[in-house]
Structure 1
């Protein structure tokens, strides 16, 4: 009888020890695909036979280019993209803000009447907000406002501002770019390439105020209707900017931006077209727009989506460490964007530490594909309730 009592006490102690042992931390195991490469015929865009052009999808990769590499050419008013970038970097605006007031000086007022260059009709002493000045810079391509902004930013010195333009270009790796003025009117000094300007476009299109301004078809300033020289802008086609440029030395130029919806995300296509000659139907402002429109349409068609995981499909599991498992599923379709030759990686980021108890539908992490503004993110959730291991599994655990 004594030995029986001892056995009961020993067994009781073992049971208590097993039940009181700390539970192992839940472990996640993933089965979702980690990459995908788009296959098919190579992307063939309708590149111009003259001048130069380049295009890309932000976060995905280049769509291609045409024309000579490392051959700087005059870019006319495309120059103003760098001017706008620097102004917004040093005097940042949030959406809905108008910014500080800028007073039109004598030089800007006098240049408003110069028939040989594009300008905004302003008078000395007129008050403009920073936002309005940027609209006048980008939409009608006002040279006098470009110089006014340079003087306003650099304490009256246009040359100091130009120095900053070149410093910023160097920082962006624009090795074939030289700025000699803030407007692009210095045709012999201000030169660049399509690929260099594409690097600038990537940076400036990250600014939501800049994107808002360049996507305007028109605006009203001082009771005057100001129209955008970029006639391609249209929500229906997805074209949202960016800047025209034209002169006899530069011919017709355009930095453009357009979107393509893929799996609920907006993919941003960006391109630069330089040195386009006039035609029987297109003047010096419109020639680059016609060429670019064809590139945009073909580029949008080339960008597609691949569904790697469907909503509700298992992408992994959570193990309680004692033999129990709960499936992990995608909360929505994982559609990755891309085009032929592009390899997309899929990564998993946990949402935080996971306890031993959680309800079905609890988010435990995120599957992320791609990078940049068109990055795709899909929540990963528990398919059913996560509960602590059963008493039997805890009693029989060996490890």
Structure 2
């Protein structure tokens, strides 16, 4: 039998070891490629520019100063006239009521503790008559509840009862003034000056910005809001008391306080509810320095109509709107779309900003939540989930075997 040559041995060894290497490579390669994690696909987020607002046209009065705001919206939405402090007359009594109620809280409809009127209260009456201020009857020994004193101060604008409730709550009108100054500071009304409880002094001054904020605070105080919206009340020992706000109940007006003074002219701090879309918007406003209340009431009605039109139902997104896309290395495509539509009532001048947060992923079934889109409108935010609009499947064995570089 012939002996194998060295070359033959080498070929046999190569065949054996080569086959073994192929087997070993297959044993290693197949599980690694077939069982490797699916490649991660990054979300490509759409560039969504901010939607700029459009300033509504408002017909502010040519006299004094005026402005509007709204509950749920910070600051002043629009204003005209001077930004300097002006005399605010009996609007001062809104501060009086808020400061008194902070010290002596009441629930809506509650009369609260009673005060016994004395010589100082008769003196308040005489002082106000001498200054041609608005008054309501008072006599020493008369008892009257805290709530009814506030009714007389806010509804009838009785100066003497604004002084009486302030002195009852803090011991004297001077002590009330100190408490009011502290309250103004704590509430950020730094451009407002209070020197008496009634506003008969022209040294009680404020700005449009502060007064819009005062209206916001007043409408959030249940007792003040209730009194401001009341047209008539019966007070024992006094009789029928009517609200001096001539716009109450007209065009949605439900408050807040009139003011009249030679130095301030006719003034009104007001609030009014308007239904816009599926929301009720509470518009806040003030007019200072008008010639008379009939004139400013007419101007305010026109302003309220324009302000109501300045709010609109804004469609933020429709169901199925795309905000991000996925394109896998194995050729599948899917989108991250909104799971539902969303809209919001907003002031037209307020811009809408959009922020998208979409996850990176490997696979996913249709409808899987993969992120969210957040719309910011002023100081409000609304978030809508994003879901896959179609399934992203595993690439399968043939693609895996043919594309090891994408897996390893």
2:394 to 383, 390, 393: 390
Q: Whose Rg is larger? A: 2
Q: Provide the residue aligned with 2:96 in structure 1.
A: 83
Equivalent positions of 1:1-399 (< 5 A) are 2-15=20-33, 18-19=36-37, 29-38=45-54, 43-48=57-62, 50-57=63-70, 58-59=73-74, 61-66=76-81, 68-70=82-84, 72-73=86-87, 75-89=88-102, 101-107=112-118, 110=122, 116-119=133-136, 124-128=142-146, 134-154=150-170, 156-170=171-185, 177-185=192-200, 187-207=201-221, 210-218=224-232, 226-234=241-249, 237-278=251-292, 286-301=294-309, 303-305=310-312, 307=314, 309-317=316-324, 325-329=334-338, 331-335=340-344, 337-339=346-348, 342-348=349-355, 360=367, 365=372, 367-372=374-379, 375=380, 377=382, 379-382=384-387, 384=389, 390=394, 392=396, 397-398=406-407
The structure in which a higher percent of residues are helix is 2
Mapped contact 1:310–1:330 kept (Cα < 8 A): no
Mapped contact 1:233–1:239 kept (Cα < 8 A): yes
SS at structure 1 position matched to 2:396: helix
Mapped contact 1:242–1:254 kept (Cα < 8 A): yes
Rounded to whole Å, the distance in 2 between the matches of 1:17 and 1:269 is 63
How far apart are residue 316 of structure 1 and its match?
1.1
Structure 1 residues 220 and 69, CA, compared in 2 at 3 Å: closer, same or farther? same
Where does structure 1 lack aligned partners over 5 or more consecutive residues? 279-284
Offset from partner CA, 1:1-52 (integer Å, 9 cap, x none): 6445423421343146514x8x85985835544232326xx7241414x443
Rounded to whole Å, the distance in 2 between the matches of 1:251 and 1:63 is 21
Where does structure 2 lack aligned partners over 5 or more consecutive residues? 1-18
Mapped contact 2:336–2:358 kept (Cα < 8 A): no
How far apart are residue 210 of structure 1 and its match?
4.2
Rounded to whole Å, the distance in 2 between the matches of 1:181 and 1:356 is 71
Q: Provide the residue aligned with 1:281 in structure 2.
A: none
TM-score by structure 1 length? 0.71
Mapped contact 2:68–2:212 kept (Cα < 8 A): yes
Mapped contact 1:259–1:300 kept (Cα < 8 A): no
How far apart are residue 195 of structure 1 and its match?
4.6
How far apart are residue 312 of structure 1 and its match?
1.8
Structure 1 residues 328 and 153, CA, compared in 2 at 3 Å: closer, same or farther? farther
Bigger Cα displacement from structure 2, 316-325 vs 262-271? 316-325
Rounded to whole Å, the distance in 1 between the matches of 2:226 and 2:44 is 42
